[in-house]
Amino acid sequence: MTARKERLQIRKNTFDRVRRAVVKVGSGVLTSDQSLNTRVIRRLAREVSTLMEQGIQVILVSSGAIASGVKKMGMIERPADVPHKQAVAAIGQSGLMLEYERSFARYQKKVAQILLTRDDLCNRRRYLNARNTIHVLLDWKIVPIINENDTVVVEELKFGDNDNLAAMITHLMDAQILINLTDIDGFYDKDPMDHKDALLIPLVSKIDRGMEKAARDIPGAFGMGGMSSKIKTAKKITTSGIPMIIASGLKSNILKSLFEGRDAGTLFLPRKEKMGSRKCWIAFTLKAKGTIKVDKGAAKAIRKGGRSLLPIGIVGVKGDFGVGAAVRCIDEDEVPFASGLVNYKASDIRKLMGLRTNQIEKRLGYKHYGEVIHRDNLVVMPDDKEGAVCQ
């Protein structure tokens, strides 16, 4: 088989398996010079409706609130300070939804707005609530349209950008693919705006440092993340065993072409083993509140044997966190290799470092668990010498 034929086969197999997709649409796709790009929104509504009629569930993650608000207010750029940005998002979000509502109505489809903060998804109960609600909407064949709740969110509770939000929604909903629609055709080896010889890479089986570096040089237009945040997202998504595609949302019939297995955009292939949804939540949704450094023996037992983290293997603790917090485990070379939920607070773990399990009670005056992190709450990242561990 030729390389192209083989690639098309991989694409076809990937899309044939998809019953539920998250489609993220960037601000650069949704807005034109003066306002929201209604033509693009109508086209997206048509394409998503067609997929739904073929039995594919679609969850939209839509940016565009700030961009649309900025344009509605006649500003030439985003406000720099937080209250103004939040006010502009509030102005833009309603217009954005109105446009979706109208466009989907043409195809007899209803939409629902869901605004989330990272805090909502870090809280396990609220996380499950959001999941249940979206399940009901999908059962009712309504299109969930999700954005960050920009108006209330403060910096430390932000998803970062909507690429990251889309990754979390893909995990939340166990979708089989994340389709990231942006204003360029896919991932190029250099910025195509500056380099005529820039090459589009159609298929990526492993994201290496060179790609991460190339991505840093390709900025976003109106949105926030640019290519760099898309590559970080691709890394998280593929690590959890799900494929992701970056393609142009400005191309007509793009979703149709992708689902027909045609060569468009850049497809990032997933790691073979799929991570369970709870482990994805621990590894990719929760923000690490600290780090625990472990010795060689413990790192090996966790990495290769899937074991729990015991006090005896711990050589350092950074941060001030409580029971149940998410932390990152680093090895003696400071390389992060796992994330997990702790059974003891940071100050107690400092007291327990290097001790045997049967010494815990004597040292603390109590013992709730023998492990500092139980293996059920510990997620090992695949060995990754090339690139940084994603989080």
- Smallest separation, CB 290 to ligand GLU (Å): 27
What's the CA gap between 344 and 327, in Å, rounded? 11
- Pick 150 or 371: Cβ nearer ligand GLU: 150
Q: Are 8 and 265 in contact (CB under 8 A)?
A: no
- Smallest separation, CB 112 to ligand GLU (Å): 16
- Smallest separation, CB 225 to ligand GLU (Å): 5
Which residues in this chain contact ligand GLU in the complex, by CB under 6 A?
Answer: 26-27, 63-67, 89, 147-148, 150, 161-162, 223-225
Dihedral of the alpha carbons of 226, 204, 20, 105, in degrees to the nearest 10 = 40
Burial of 45 (C-beta count, 10 Å sphere; 0-12/13-18/19+): buried
- Pick 224 or 372: Cβ nearer ligand GLU: 224
- Pick 18 or 181: Cβ nearer ligand GLU: 181
- Pick 181 or 264: Cβ nearer ligand GLU: 181
CA distances from 375 to 120, 305, 311 (A): 25, 10, 13
- Pick 147 or 176: Cβ nearer ligand GLU: 147
What's the CA gap between 312 and 303, in Å, rounded? 16
Q: Are 327 and 338 in contact (CB under 8 A)?
A: no
Supply 232's token pair. 């970080």
- Smallest separation, CB 328 to ligand GLU (Å): 24
- Smallest separation, CB 69 to ligand GLU (Å): 8
**DSSP summary character for residue 274:** P
* Helical segments of the chain, H only: 3-16, 27-30, 38-53, 65-72, 82-105, 118-122, 124-139, 162-172, 209-216, 226-239, 254-259, 277-280, 296-305, 346-352, 360-364
Helix (H, G, I), strand (E, B) or coil at 339: strand
- Pick 147 or 377: Cβ nearer ligand GLU: 147
- Smallest separation, CB 63 to ligand GLU (Å): 3
